[in-house]
Structures are given as structure tokens and as C-alpha cells.
């Protein structure tokens, strides 16, 4: 291959910088253009990455015939319209998580993808850690047997992101349930083989961030008083195959961790496992012995946010399926939507796919 695919990035904020090394390292693609509603960021991108083709309107970038791939790193509420516009313009699209804050928006993306014949991928970087890939291979090989239960959590202590794009529902769609819950839930479902969700019983509330003097160590600032999303969420999820999953997420929990505790346990008929420790436990019923082992996994050779971009470009060129298809993101978002509906209705709700 002599000509690399041209990548146009929409949204040049913090997360976008983690994608750039992937485009720089890709055999198949390179960053060619960028877009942001704040032109003040353009000089930095020109100096740091040599980016000279910039736009302040994403539609102008999407209409550029030289661009093959659109990389969307904007606030959640803008994902839907941008993804659909890019797909219908004939671009392949990789979009930051969550793919969209509502299941309906993801369904519209799937329709647009089907009409365009292009690839669509959600940037779920936790799947691209070496430990995740290693554990997935073991689980797919049957080491756990039939998975019947799981526990997944992502817990922070006084670590609430204070950017308006995270803490106001009109921009984010929700609090930690959508912000960080989407990571560990996607990972859990992926390792479980994406069983079809049936029902959710959940809570989404803010017991801590509205207290007087509430602060976040993310910038060491007081928490804004007008935040309108939750700071804690928990759920019990039932799947059609009979399996269950417990999900817990928080930005502010009084939990013994200096920053973030993200962990996942899966339990099967033949064994259990813990991520990211890569620990597996099992029993030999014949000998009445218990076993525990850990995979010896090497560190990530390239940062997962970068690797997901590399793998997306490879999938486009080699005609492979999307590394993180929208249908799987629909399962994730339908569950999270169910958590919010369960909170509002005060009961278990069916998951609508």
C-alpha cells in the first residue's frame, strides 16, 4: 500500500491527543485535518503535530473528499449527528465512547452505516490492553465454563471531572454511569461474549457532590453547585441466558483508593477470573483441590487509545469487521439507559434493544 488513508479529527480537546500517536504509528492512515469550534487550539495542533488543515465547522471537514476516516472526540451529545453525517458522506468513522448517550441515537447510526457501507467503531480502549486480550483468549477457550455471574466496578474518590462536557446532562447525557461505567460494562459484556440483556434494576443519584464544601481532586476545586447528573450509580442486570451482572460506578465514593479502582470479576461453572489482575481460580472436583494462577502478561507496547486507532485503520484497509461494532455499543447503552429509567420508575425495567 503506497497511499495512506487521510484522517480528519473532530474535537481537538484532551482525549484527542491520546489518539494522535495511533495515527502517527499506523501503517495505513495518517492525521490530515482537524476541526474544533474553538480556533484558539489550532496553533497548538500546528506546532505539536504539524496540522495545518483546520476547520471550525465539522460539516466542512466531513464534506472534504480527500478525507477517508473521521475520528470523533467531541462531547457525548454531539456524537449522533456527527457520526451520521460522516457516514452518509462516505467516511469510515471511529467515535469516542459512549457511542451515543441514548439507544435511539445508536440505532440511527447503525441505519446510516448500513446505507453507507462504511465501518463504524466505538473507541473502547480497555479492550485493547494486552491483559484484556490475553484474558479474552483464555475465556473464549472455555477456562471459566458457562459464565453465570459477574461483578464490575469503576470507583473514584473525590475525582469528579469538572469540565461542563461531563457534568451537565445536556452535554453528557449522564454522570459516571455514562462516563466511566461505559468502560467497565463494555469490557464485562465483551469478556462474557455479549449475552443479550433482559432487565435492569438500578439507581443513579448524587449523595455526595451537592454537600457543602464538596471538592474534586481533579484540579483541586470545589464541585459546582449546579451539576445536574448523578455522582453514583449501581445496577443489577439480568440476561436472557440466565446470567447476571452487578455494576457499580462513582466519581465521589468514600472508597479506599487514591485515584480510581476499576475491576471486574467473572464467575463460571469451571472457574472465575479477575481483571486486570489476570488472575484465574478453579477447582478440581475429582481431587478436591483448589487452584489459582495468574497470566504472565507483558506490558502494553503501545498505549490502548493509540492501538484502537491503528486497529481501526487496519480493519478498513484489510476489509475486516469493525473492532468494536455499533451493535455491541447498543447493548451497552441500552443497559445504561435502563439504569436511568429504573431510577426514575423505582422498579426493574426491561432492556429495549
Range of the domain at 283: 128-302+333-350
Q: For 170-199, how does the pLDDT look when each residue is reduced to its tens digit (9 = 90+)?
A: 889 999 999 999 999 999 999 999 999 999
Task: Label residues 220-240 b or e (16+ Cβ within 10 Å = b).
Answer: eeebeeebebbbbbbbbbbbe
Structural domain contains residue 119: yes
Label residue 33 by pLDDT band (50, 70, 90).
Answer: very high
- What secondary structure letter does DSSP report for 224? P
Structural domain contains residue 311: no
User: Of the residues 110, 126, 142, which one is the last residue of a structural domain?
Assistant: 126
Residue 294: per-residue pLDDT: 87
Structural domain contains residue 19: yes
User: Of the residues 126, 152, 178, which one is the last residue of a structural domain?
Assistant: 126
Verify that 23 and 70 share a domain, yes or no: yes
Verify that 134 and 277 share a domain, yes or no: yes
Average pLDDT for 85-108 = 97
Verify that 118 and 134 share a domain, yes or no: no
Share of the chain above pLDDT 90, in %: 88
User: Of the residues 99, 126, 153, which one is the last residue of a structural domain?
Assistant: 126
Structural domain contains residue 323: no
Structural domain contains residue 318: no
Label residue 163 by pLDDT band (50, 70, 90).
Answer: confident
Label residue 288 by pLDDT band (50, 70, 90).
Answer: low
Residue 286: per-residue pLDDT: 58
Residue 23's closest CA among 5, 10, 35?
5
Structural domain contains residue 105: yes
- Is 70 exceeded by the pLDDT of residue 274? yes
- Is 70 exceeded by the pLDDT of residue 140? yes
Residue 101's closest CA among 25, 165, 191?
165
Verify that 198 and 344 share a domain, yes or no: yes
Label residue 2 by pLDDT band (50, 70, 90).
Answer: low
d(CA 266, CA 257): 22
Residue 292: per-residue pLDDT: 84
Verify that 218 and 340 share a domain, yes or no: yes
The least confident of 33-37, 43-47, 257-261 is 257-261
Average pLDDT for 282-293 = 72
Verify that 116 and 227 share a domain, yes or no: no
Task: Give the residue carrying C-alpha cell 426493574.
Answer: 348
Instruction: Please give the tally of structural domains in the chain.
Output: 2
Helix/strand/coil (H, E, C) string of 237-292?
EEECCCCEEEEEEECCCCCCCCCEEEEEEEEECCEEEEECCCEEEEEECCCCEEEE
Verify that 150 and 286 share a domain, yes or no: yes
Structural domain contains residue 209: yes
- Is 60 exceeded by the pLDDT of residue 1? no
Structural domain contains residue 180: yes
Verify that 148 and 40 share a domain, yes or no: no
Average pLDDT for 284-293 = 70
Verify that 152 and 51 share a domain, yes or no: no
Label residue 251 by pLDDT band (50, 70, 90).
Answer: very high
Verify that 105 and 90 share a domain, yes or no: yes
Verify that 231 and 242 share a domain, yes or no: yes
d(CA 144, CA 283): 11
Q: For 230-250, how does the pLDDT look when each residue is reduced to its tens digit (9 = 90+)?
A: 999 999 999 999 999 999 999
Q: For 292-346, how does the pLDDT look when each residue is reduced to its tens digit (9 = 90+)?
A: 888 888 888 899 999 999 999 999 999 999 999 999 999 999 999 999 999 999 9
Average pLDDT for 121-149 = 97
Q: What is the CATH number of the domain that holds 33?
A: 3.40.50.720
Q: What is the CATH number of the domain that holds 248?
A: 3.30.360.10
Could you tell me which residues come within 8 angstroms of residue 47 by beta carbon, excluding any fewer than 6 positions away? none
Share of the chain above pLDDT 70, in %: 98
- Is 80 exceeded by the pLDDT of residue 290? no
Verify that 121 and 134 share a domain, yes or no: no
The three-state secondary structure class of 284 is: strand
Phi, psi of 122 (to 5 degrees): -95, 135
Amino acid at each position: 500500500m503506497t497511499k495512506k488513508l487521510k484522517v480528519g479529527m473532530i474535537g481537538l480537546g484532551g482525549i484527542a491527543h491520546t489518539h494522535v500517536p495511533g495515527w502517527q504509528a499506523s501503517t495505513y492512515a495518517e492525521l490530515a485535518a482537524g476541526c474544533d469550534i474553538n480556533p484558539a487550539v489550532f496553533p497548538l495542533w500546528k506546532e505539536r503535530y504539524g496540522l495545518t488543515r483546520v476547520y471550525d465547522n465539522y460539516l466542512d471537514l466531513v464534506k472534504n473528499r480527500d478525507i477517508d476516516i473521521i475520528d470523533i472526540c467531541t462531547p457525548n451529545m454531539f456524537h449522533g449527528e456527527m457520526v451520521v453525517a460522516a457516514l452518509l458522506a462516505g467516511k469510515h468513522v471511529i467515535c469516542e465512547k459512549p457511542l451515543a448517550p441514548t439507544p435511539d441515537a445508536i440505532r440511527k447510526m447503525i441505519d446510516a452505516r448500513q446505507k453507507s457501507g462504511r465501518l463504524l467503531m466505538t473507541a473502547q480502549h480497555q479492550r485493547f490492553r494486552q491483559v484484556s486480550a490475553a484474558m479474552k483468549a483464555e475465556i473464549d477457550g472455555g477456562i471459566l465454563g458457562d459464565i453465570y455471574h459477574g461483578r464490575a466496578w469503576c470507583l473514584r474518590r473525590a475525582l469528579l471531572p469538572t469540565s461542563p462536557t461531563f457534568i451537565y446532562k445536556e452535554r453528557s447525557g449522564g454522570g459516571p454511569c455514562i462516563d466511566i461505567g461505559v468502560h467497565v460494562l463494555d469490557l464485562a459484556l465483551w469478556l462474557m461474549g455479549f449475552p443479550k440483556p433482559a432487565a435492569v434494576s438500578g439507581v443513579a443519584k448524587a449523595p455526595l457532590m451537592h454537600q457543602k464544601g464538596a471538592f474534586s481532586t481533579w484540579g483541586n476545586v470545589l464541585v459546582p453547585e449546579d451539576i445536574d447528573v448523578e455522582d453514583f450509580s449501581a445496577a443489577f442486570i439480568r440476561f436472557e441466558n440466565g446470567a447476571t451482572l452487578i455494576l457499580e460506578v462513582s466519581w465521589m465514593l468514600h472508597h479506599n483508593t487514591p485515584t480510581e479502582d476499576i475491576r471486574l470479576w467473572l464467575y463460571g461453572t469451571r472457574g472465575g477470573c479477575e481483571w486486570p489482575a489476570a488472575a484465574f481460580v478453579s477447582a478440581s472436583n475429582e481431587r478436591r483441590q483448589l487452584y489459582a494462577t495468574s497470566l504472565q502478561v507483558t506490558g502494553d507496547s503501545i498505549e490502548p487509545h493509540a492501538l484502537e486507532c491503528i486497529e481501526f485503520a487496519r480493519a478498513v484497509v484489510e476489509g475486516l469487521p469493525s473492532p468494536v461494532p455499533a451493535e455491541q455499543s447498543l447493548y451497552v447503552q441500552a443497559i445504561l439507559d435502563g439504569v436511568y429509567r429504573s431510577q426514575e420508575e423505582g422498579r426493574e425495567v426491561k432492556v429495549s434493544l
